[in-house]
Structure 1
Amino acid sequence: MKSKFKTAAAILALSLGLVACGKKDDSSNKESNNASNSSKAEVSATMVTDQGGINDKSFNQSSYEGLKAYQDEGKIKFDYIESHKDSDYQPNLESALDSKSDIIFTVGYALFDATSKAAEENPEQNYAIIDNENSKNQKNLLGITFADHENSFLVGYIAGMKTESNNVGFVGGMESAVIDRFQYGFMAGVKQAAREKGKDIEVQVQYANSYSDQAKGKNIANQMYQNGADVIFQAAGGTGIGVFEAAKENNKYIIGVDRDQKEEAPDNILASTIKGVGKAVQLTIDDYKEGKFKGGETVSYSLKDGDALGIAYGDNDLVSKEVKDKVEDLRNQIVDGKIKVPQNEEEFTSMVYDK
């Protein structure tokens, strides 16, 4: 198994070696810009990604950017290891121990079994997992979850108000309780818009069974656009990059996920849901430095937590001020508990969003 394990120190050494040989390689400076700061940092961290890696333009990349920003500020030093398939998780976690980091972050609910096993076998090592509860109440593991259904409701409303064909799409990565929150929150928001418009709006739903298959994402999106959808929300990690390609080629609308993705399709994007994974890892590090690491617990972030969860609009005029104002009103109603947003099919039905 080949995994990418990069450290600031290693890349600094490579950079010095290249300079000594009179050669220049810009790629060797990715992690070394603030190596002197990171070498003095009090906290060290290692991140093990899910499939898609740090350039998935989604939750893995957001985690990486949060850690990288703290390294650039001299607050931490960090390594990362990329996973490319399920079988990478366990050996990557074993490799992460070599760094002797204060905290090992695993990014994605799919890593839970491997992370839980590693935490059990290494009780002195601190772990934190993104997008999964600490369901076994392990004392050296922190679960970090997000109320993704809440901001998915908001972009569902945007999609429902924007569609002219009364047909929208949802492309998911892999079926799970986490992606259920995106799907059913989105569908509930579309239903809210449909009720206001007095129209029926169809929602096409399909999963790619991958977070890294861009070709599959593009193919699914092309089919949805051809079948009448004019807006698609993708919650598919790196697979979603293919959905963006389809949106541009079909000149249709798209909604991004997990981080502000407007640069992927500036003329087609309506908005992105923001999952502050980078902020969450930073807050976890802050707690650790203050002796408040919440091992044994699960920390959850929702719309009421500001930067930890929200939406970002594209730099265009595709969403009207009227709709943006209504979205803000809906956000406030969710925060105040006046609107309950479903997290799964059962809640979607019991809350009568299916009618």
Structure 2
Amino acid sequence: MRLVTRLLICSLFLFACSLNALAETASRTPAKTVRVGIVLSVGGLGDHAFNDAAYAGIQKLRQLPGCIVDVVEPGDVAAIESGLEFLAARRASLVAAIGIFANEAVRRVASKYPDVPFVLLDSVVELPNVMSVLFNEEEGSFYAGAFAGLLTKTQNIGFLGGMVSPVISAFEKGFRNGIAFVNPQAKLLIEYAGDTPEAFNSPETGKKLGLKLAAEGADFVYHAAGRTGLGLIEASRRSSFLVIGVDGDQSGLAPGKVAASMVKRLDVALDTAVRAVLENRFKGGVLTLGLADGGIELDISRFNAGLVTPLITQRLAEVEAFLLHRTPASQSTSGSDRPGK
């Protein structure tokens, strides 16, 4: 389909350009070796979401001349700090961490090593040597909500979050607004898996809540729940609802059952931070990546392409245009801002 193809081509082109820029920079400074250390988030590799998306970006970095990447996979939140300490003590050129559960650890370790650059993905620590890269998950979730709102037949749509936090609340808010933007009659059913970090690492809970949402009539369920979302996807195999995945492309986990994924381009974020180090222009601060920056995208599964008619494609293009050109005052989901039916 043209919309998705265009988005994917643009994203691939942007990343290819940035990868080439990195390679060119590295070739101009062949004597410089960049050692990047990254501490993954709780849940670890195999979550088919944030950690795996980060690891895909790491693999691309490893292709660059002179770029060495060390990866620490913490067993729990407490292990994040020791991982950061280990990497910073080795005087890494850049130390990376992921998510809100790394906040305090990054704050403490970055304060202890003020000459070491840190990048924190998907959360914020305000220190001179910390680059905080946020993704506009509210914008991406809005797009996902519009997708579900246009395709729902039951007028019941589900949202499964890990635990309540500012980031996950932004997912929920954006998804709700995206649904209302195209289909104000649809109802949003909400479930959260728990109130501790373990809520992102419980596939069994995800399966149970997925079946509960299906029993309540949801025919699309969007999740922001890490490994817990794997249970939701498993539940979809036993029911008629379709899943909208998150962070990475999850369509391969259940072909035909994961209709789309709201992808956060961690590879783009890591690329941005490493390039800043290579070019000696790294500085602390907050950078937000959205649809216009190639930092997020809605990846519609090729297994479900038949759901997306030319009319749906047109409507999604209208939603994309709204997101790309809106101002803060235009974020309302009511009135003439809503695309025609």
Q: TM-score, normalised by structure 1?
A: 0.80
Q: Does 1:146 pair with 2:135? A: yes
Report the CA distance between 1:131 and its aligned residue. 0.8
Alignment match, 1:314 = 301
> Residues 179 and 97 from structure 1, CA distance in 2 versus in 1: closer, same or farther, beyond 3 angstroms?
same
Structure with higher RCO (Cα < 8 A, 6+ apart) = 2
The question of 1:202 aligning with 2:166 is answered no
How far apart are the structure 2 equivalents of 1:218 and 1:125?
A: 42
Residue type of the alignment partner of 1:251 = S
Distance 1:190 1:235 in 2: 16
Aligned residues: 301
2:78 to 87, 92, 95: 87
Instruction: Give the secondary-structure state (helix, strand or coil) at the position aligned to 1:271.
Output: strand
- What letter matches 2:287 in structure 1? V
In 2, the alpha carbon distance for the partners of 1:160 and 1:183 equals 14
Runs of 4+ off more than 4 Å: 338-342
Please give the alpha-carbon distance, in whole angstroms, between the structure 2 residues aligned to 1:85 and 1:174. Answer: 16
Q: Deviations over 1:189-225 (max 9, x none)?
A: 1112223xxxx22211111132111111111111111
The separation in 1 between residues aligned to 2:310 and 2:157, in whole angstroms, is: 21
Q: Structure 1 regions of 5+ residues with no counterpart? A: 1-38
Distance 1:40 1:166, change over 3 A: farther
Q: Check 1:339–1:151 CA distance in 2 against 1; reply closer, same or farther (3 A cut).
A: farther
Could you tell me which amino acid in structure 1 is paired with residue 314 of structure 2?
A: D
- Report the 3-state secondary structure (helix = DSSP H, G, I; strand = E; otherwise coil) of the residue aligned with 1:233: strand
- The answer on 1:112 being equivalent to 2:103 is yes
Matched with 2:256 is 267
Q: Distance in 2 between matches of 1:216 and 1:285?
A: 37
Structure 2 residue aligned with 1:57: 48
Q: Which residue of 2 aligns with 1:301?
A: 289
Would you say the 8 A contact 2:164–2:192 is kept in 1?
Answer: yes
For 1:279, the aligned partner's letter is: V
Tell me how far 1:98 sits from its aligned partner.
4.4
Report SS of the residue matched to 2:73: strand
- Residues of 2 paired with 1:158 and 1:85: CA distance? 35
CA deviation after TM superposition for structure 1 residue 170, in Å:
0.4
Aligned-residue Cα RMSD (Å) equals: 2.3
Instruction: Mark the runs of 5 or more structure 2 residues left unpaired by the alignment.
Output: 1-29
C-alpha deviation, 1:155, in angstroms? 1.1
Query: Shift of the alpha carbon at 1:336?
Result: 0.8
Bigger Cα displacement from structure 2, 263-272 vs 284-293: 263-272
Alpha-carbon distance change, 348 to 220 in structure 1, aligned in 2, over 3 angstroms: farther
How far off its partner does 1:348 sit?
8.7
* Matching residue's letter, 1:57: H
State TM-score, norm by structure 2: 0.83
Q: Percent of counterpart pairs with the same letter?
A: 25
- Could you say which residue in structure 1 is the equivalent of 2:275? 286
